[in-house]
A and B are shown apart, each in its own frame.
Chain A
Amino acid sequence: MKKTNAALLSTPYIVWMVVFTLVPLGVVCFYALTDAAGNFTWANLLELRAYLPVLWQSILYSLAAAFICLLLGYPVAYYISHRSPTAQKFLYMLIMLPMCMSFLLRTLAWVGLLQDTGIINDLLASLGLARLKLIRTPGAVILGMVYNYLPYMILPLYSTICKIDHRLIEAAEDLGCTPVQVFSKVILPLSVPGILSGVTMVFVPAVSTFYISQKLGNPRDTVLIGDIIERLFKQADNPNLGAALSLVLMALVFVCTGIMNRFGGDTQEGDVIV
């Protein structure tokens, strides 16, 4: 009786979410399957074939970024989770803080750092060294992704490692594991949920980004699917094709998260964030 009453509280929310998440996705499908005049067509979906290389390229870049984030983020998360509670809080805050600031301006700062006449190259030149080709390379785009999304990797890893019961480590040591074995046989397998959710949380925004590649990339080999969607909506006046591409992007992301969830068990994203 009381339960059903309380459950009613969720009704407005469900209605809201259906109207503002499911219905819009329906509208995207509608646009993807119609032409500018609103008539049904398969043309947009057929045209997608031309964008497969870009899609593939976006996936590669984001996977690379996610992998690098994992390599860099794991030691950091591990280090933080083994500090005193005070230090943990402080370090956690330091990792979180950049995420609260405008990512546009921070990316712009990278442009200033990396460009041919930028801060790093000026520094090299003043030391009498040769200038390096940093900006407008695939490396710069991946760096931009790593920079922007690294916190998304560290935070879930950190909370997963924190949750590992210290007695398990002691048990492993007791059973004769060296520190390296403790790590590879106990800690690493237990942090798999964190790794998977971190990889997802980096991969999803990276694969759909449209600003980083514009600023740090070049028009030759770093064009990403997000750039094309943005252009189709904002400049090329082709929301129908844009909607079709968005559907592809969405499908890609849901397949990825589906795979991650399957292997990562039932990790709630909420646990990971908090």
Chain B
Amino acid sequence: MKHANRIITALILIFLYIPMAVLIVASFNTGTDITEFEGFTLQQYVRLFQDDKLLGLLGNSLLISILASGIATVFGTLAAVGINSLNPKLRKLVMSLTDIPMTNPDIVTGISLSLLFVFVGTTMLGQKESLTFWTLLIAHITFNLPYVILNVMPKLKQMDASLTDAAMDLGCTPVQAFFKVTLHEIMPGVISGAIMAFTMSLDDFVISYFVTGNSFITLPVEIYSYVKKPVAPKVYALFTLLFLLIFVLMAAMNLMQLRADQKRKETRVRVETEGMKVFKRLVAVTAAAALVIGCGWLILHPAEEKVTLNVYNWGQYISEGQDDTIDVIAEFENAYPWIDVRYSTYSDNETMYTKLSGGGITVDVIIPSDYMVARLIAEGMLLELDFSNIPNYAYVDEAFRNTAYDPENKYSVPYTWGTVGIIYNTKYVDEADVTGWELLWNKKYDDKILMFGNSRDAFGIAQYLLGYDVNTTDPAELRACANKLKEQRPMVQQYIMDEIFAAMENEEAWIATYYAGDCLTMMENNPDLAFYFPQEQGFNMFIDAMCIPTCCQEKEAAELFINFLCDPWISGQNMNALGYSTPISAAKDYMDPEMVESELAYPSEEILVNATSYAYLPEEITQLVEALFQEATKLID
């Protein structure tokens, strides 16, 4: 039996560390695919240290976890002393209060706090931005406190209560007694509470995910949006370094404790080992330094003269400077050094809408699709643009003006246009099956089909397949579409958005429907991929346009940003990298001729003959579509 336990333990440890090993190996990989080791390189580490954004996020995470755990440790230790001297009934009550964040699922804690902050900040106080650094800090302190208390309380209970009496008997005031005696006794609990709070805070994703606005983002939250796209290997490099750091720290702590224990055993003379002393001092100094730096950062940061521009865009929807492309945001910041761009992404129009309408955040520029622009205009969520700040609007082609969604050209400037089609892998998919949208319903390719993870695009496809108008408001037709989607569900591998890139490129899935521009990118990375326009049945043609929402705080900077993206050279470089189509013909001069020629990016009139655009639907229809989509794609029958 003892042997069996040893083997099981060894196997469990291997089980626990396999994924870590995979990530560490991936950090030395020349390729980006985690499953394929193409060659050894340290390049990812170089890239990591060149990536100010990633390091900034790490800094944010460290800042919030140090501040939150530090405050929670001080606050919680004092509270524990207080709780310990409450009468037993009250103590029990307070301890059950302490248990709430511990037993409550993180998701509920996160949701409840975010609802509170938005409710108080936006609904009651009318603040524009109610989810800020401070609310995140409050949330972290709140879930850190119980860890501190639950670590300190047992030490307080273990402590001989007459020690404090003795100290006071010998002339200490209660405060002196706390510092001279109690604190020493409970120190191990305080330290382990602080460490636990710190690690919980550093790695917290769920609570932060719900409480984060867009002005202050921590690393795990950003990683969540990364893992929806192909993850940059430098993230693995960051993971590896953090892993090593924590490993070394923990091992060092253990070793020091062991040595102290041994020495204590060896000599009966009192030893505060030099190691422990140095370590304690080190911890104290680091903590103090971190607090000072943190506070300093807090005081200095807002004092910077820079204007912060919050851009909220689709994922994978701007050239970020990989593989010899330009970094559009860096170019913009170079051109306007007084503006600091804070960039965050969404996966679809609905997610963006939810975040905006939920309130509590500041966003200066968004890039929704046509029908969503119309919805935002109708709901009064957009500001009119001042076109004197956007002289480059002159370059926008006539075809993209006076559109149905913004007939008077008051609220939007087109960013890209594009189409939706089918991308499939020629290695696995029989060309004969590629006849139209029904390919996505083909049982032969069970579990290899990817479907849109947003209601409007998914319904659109069902509508084209069934021959309905994509802008139908007939509930019966919409129900029929929902049934069609339900019929498809057993074959669908996943309902996703940006994750499509990775799944198609590494051939985890064979058939998907997505935006043509992105398909171009995928096809570049995997030559076996091919694209198909279901010309007969029709497909969606969309325009994504830049707008300024009402929660904007830097309108002029936002307009400068919009203007910058309309610069023909910038637009050309940007579209070159994205594969989407530019609404600015002048930009084509600066583009790869191959791209300009591409049928995918710029399909001919003939192909586009049955292409249609989504229009804004009345609120109740939008909600019905959303509800039907929920029903069709999830388990609810």
State if A and B touch, Cβ cutoff 8 Å.
yes
In whole Å, how far is A205's beta carbon from the nearest beta carbon of chain B? 7
Distance of A122 Cα from B138 Cα, bound (Å): 46
B247 and A105 contact, CB distance less than 8 A: no
B634 and A54 contact, CB distance less than 8 A: yes
With contact pairs A53-B637, A103-B203, A105-B236 given, residues A7 and B82 touching in the complex (Cβ less than 8 Å): yes
Q: Please give, as numbers and ranges, the residues of chain B lying within 8 Å of A117 by CB-CB distance.
A: 35, 506-508
Among B9, B203, B224, B348, which residue has its beta carbon within 8 angstroms of that of A91? B9
B224 and A104 contact, CB distance less than 8 A: yes
In whole Å, how far is B179's beta carbon from the nearest beta carbon of chain A? 14
**Which segment of B301-309, B361-369, B395-403, B492-500 sits at the interface?**
B492-500
With contact pairs A75-B8, A79-B8, A274-B189 given, residues A9 and B20 touching in the complex (Cβ less than 8 Å): no
Chain A residue nearest to B11 (CB atoms) is A72
Q: Is B83 an interface residue (CB 8 A)?
A: yes
Q: Please give, as numbers and ranges, the residues of chain A lying within 8 Å of B23 by CB-CB distance.
A: 105-106, 109
A24 and B82 contact, CB distance less than 8 A: no
Instruction: Select the residue from B9, B99, B348 with max chain A CB neighbours within 10 A.
Output: B9
Distance of A25 Cα from B2 Cα, bound (Å): 48
Q: Please give, as numbers and ranges, the residues of chain B lying within 8 Å of A93 by CB-CB distance.
A: 250-251, 254
B108 and A28 contact, CB distance less than 8 A: yes
Chain A residue nearest to B622 (CB atoms) is A237
Chain A residue nearest to B243 (CB atoms) is A101
Among B2, B5, B105, which residue has its beta carbon within 8 angstroms of that of A204? B105
With contact pairs A53-B637, A117-B507 given, residues A179 and B19 touching in the complex (Cβ less than 8 Å): no
Contact with B along A166-197 (1 / 0, CB 8 A): 00000000000001100100000000000000
In whole Å, how far is B35's beta carbon from the nearest beta carbon of chain A? 5
With contact pairs A97-B247, A102-B223, A117-B506 given, residues A219 and B16 touching in the complex (Cβ less than 8 Å): no
A273 and B150 contact, CB distance less than 8 A: yes
Q: Please give, as numbers and ranges, the residues of chain A lying within 8 Å of B8 by CB-CB distance.
A: 72, 75-76, 79
Chain B residue nearest to A151 (CB atoms) is B16
Contact with B along A241-274 (1 / 0, CB 8 A): 0110010011001100100000000001111011
Q: Is B442 an interface residue (CB 8 A)?
A: no
In whole Å, how far is B76's beta carbon from the nearest beta carbon of chain A? 7
Distance of A58 Cα from B192 Cα, bound (Å): 33
Distance of A102 Cα from B238 Cα, bound (Å): 11
Among B34, B210, B219, which residue has its beta carbon within 8 angstroms of that of A108? B34
Distance of A20 Cα from B631 Cα, bound (Å): 34
User: B1-42: which have CB < 8 Å to A?
Assistant: 1-2, 4-6, 8-9, 12-13, 15-20, 22-23, 26, 34-36
**Which segment of B322-330, B351-359, B571-579 sits at the interface?**
B351-359
Contact with A along B621-637 (1 / 0, CB 8 A): 00000100011011111
Q: Is A63 an interface residue (CB 8 A)?
A: no
Q: Is B94 an interface residue (CB 8 A)?
A: yes
Q: Say which size band chain B's interface belongs to.
A: 35 or more
B97 and A24 contact, CB distance less than 8 A: no
Among B20, B22, B105, B492, which residue has its beta carbon within 8 angstroms of that of A101? B20
Q: Please give, as numbers and ranges, the residues of chain A lying within 8 Å of B357 by CB-CB distance.
A: 237
Distance of A133 Cα from B132 Cα, bound (Å): 44
Among B13, B94, B202, which residue has its beta carbon within 8 angstroms of that of A14? B94
Distance of A205 Cα from B18 Cα, bound (Å): 22
Q: Is B275 an interface residue (CB 8 A)?
A: no
Q: Is A78 an interface residue (CB 8 A)?
A: yes
Distance of A215 Cα from B499 Cα, bound (Å): 10
Chain A residue nearest to B251 (CB atoms) is A93
Distance of A231 Cα from B347 Cα, bound (Å): 12
B107 and A104 contact, CB distance less than 8 A: no
Q: Is B289 an interface residue (CB 8 A)?
A: no
Interface of A is mostly: helix
With contact pairs A53-B636, A100-B199 given, residues A246 and B107 touching in the complex (Cβ less than 8 Å): yes
**Which segment of B111-119, B468-476, B546-554 sits at the interface?**
B111-119
User: B34-90: which have CB < 8 Å to A?
Assistant: 34-36, 75-76, 78-79, 81-86
With contact pairs A28-B115, A102-B220, A254-B103 given, residues A219 and B82 touching in the complex (Cβ less than 8 Å): no
Q: Is A115 an interface residue (CB 8 A)?
A: yes
User: B225-253: which have CB < 8 Å to A?
Assistant: 227, 231, 235-236, 239, 242-243, 246-247, 250-251
Q: Please give, as numbers and ranges, the residues of chain A lying within 8 Å of B203 by CB-CB distance.
A: 99-103
A210 and B353 contact, CB distance less than 8 A: no
Among B35, B75, B104, B257, which residue has its beta carbon within 8 angstroms of that of A13? B75
B145 and A17 contact, CB distance less than 8 A: yes
B81 and A6 contact, CB distance less than 8 A: yes
Q: Is B287 an interface residue (CB 8 A)?
A: no
A17 and B97 contact, CB distance less than 8 A: yes
Distance of A54 Cα from B637 Cα, bound (Å): 10
User: B466-502: which have CB < 8 Å to A?
Assistant: 489-490, 492-495
Contact with B along A198-240 (1 / 0, CB 8 A): 0010001101101100010011110100111111011111110
B107 and A24 contact, CB distance less than 8 A: no
B22 and A119 contact, CB distance less than 8 A: yes
B235 and A105 contact, CB distance less than 8 A: yes
Distance of A97 Cα from B242 Cα, bound (Å): 11
A274 and B508 contact, CB distance less than 8 A: no
B115 and A239 contact, CB distance less than 8 A: yes
B258 and A86 contact, CB distance less than 8 A: yes
Q: Is A150 an interface residue (CB 8 A)?
A: yes
Q: Please give, as numbers and ranges, the residues of chain A lying within 8 Å of B354 by CB-CB distance.
A: 233-237
A218 and B239 contact, CB distance less than 8 A: no
User: B95-127: which have CB < 8 Å to A?
Assistant: 97-109, 111-113, 115-116, 119
Distance of A117 Cα from B227 Cα, bound (Å): 18
B246 and A100 contact, CB distance less than 8 A: yes
In whole Å, how far is B3's beta carbon from the nearest beta carbon of chain A? 10
A104 and B102 contact, CB distance less than 8 A: no
With contact pairs A76-B8, A233-B210, A235-B354 given, residues A103 and B107 touching in the complex (Cβ less than 8 Å): no
Q: Please give, as numbers and ranges, the residues of chain B lying within 8 Å of A73 by CB-CB distance.
A: 12
A104 and B81 contact, CB distance less than 8 A: no
Q: Is A39 an interface residue (CB 8 A)?
A: no
B9 and A249 contact, CB distance less than 8 A: no
Q: Please give, as numbers and ranges, the residues of chain A lying within 8 Å of B492 by CB-CB distance.
A: 218-220
| Residues on B facing A (Cβ under 8 Å) | 1-2, 4-6, 8-9, 12-13, 15-20, 22-23, 26, 34-36, 75-76, 78-79, 81-86, 94, 97-109, 111-113, 115-116, 119, 138-139, 141-142, 145, 147, 149-151, 153-154, 168, 174, 189, 192, 196, 199, 202-203, 205-206, 210, 219-220, 223-224, 227, 231, 235-236, 239, 242-243, 246-247, 250-251, 254, 257-258, 261, 348, 350-351, 353-355, 357-358, 447, 454, 489-490, 492-495, 506-508, 626, 630-631, 633-637
9 A-B residue pairs with CB within 8 Å: A7-B85, A7-B86, A16-B145, A21-B97, A97-B243, A99-B203, A117-B507, A215-B227, A273-B150
Other 19 A-B pairs with CB < 8 A, given A104-B227, A105-B223: A9-B82, A13-B78, A13-B82, A21-B112, A53-B636, A57-B635, A97-B250, A99-B203, A100-B203, A101-B20, A102-B203, A109-B23, A110-B19, A205-B105, A208-B108, A249-B105, A250-B105, A268-B150, A270-B150
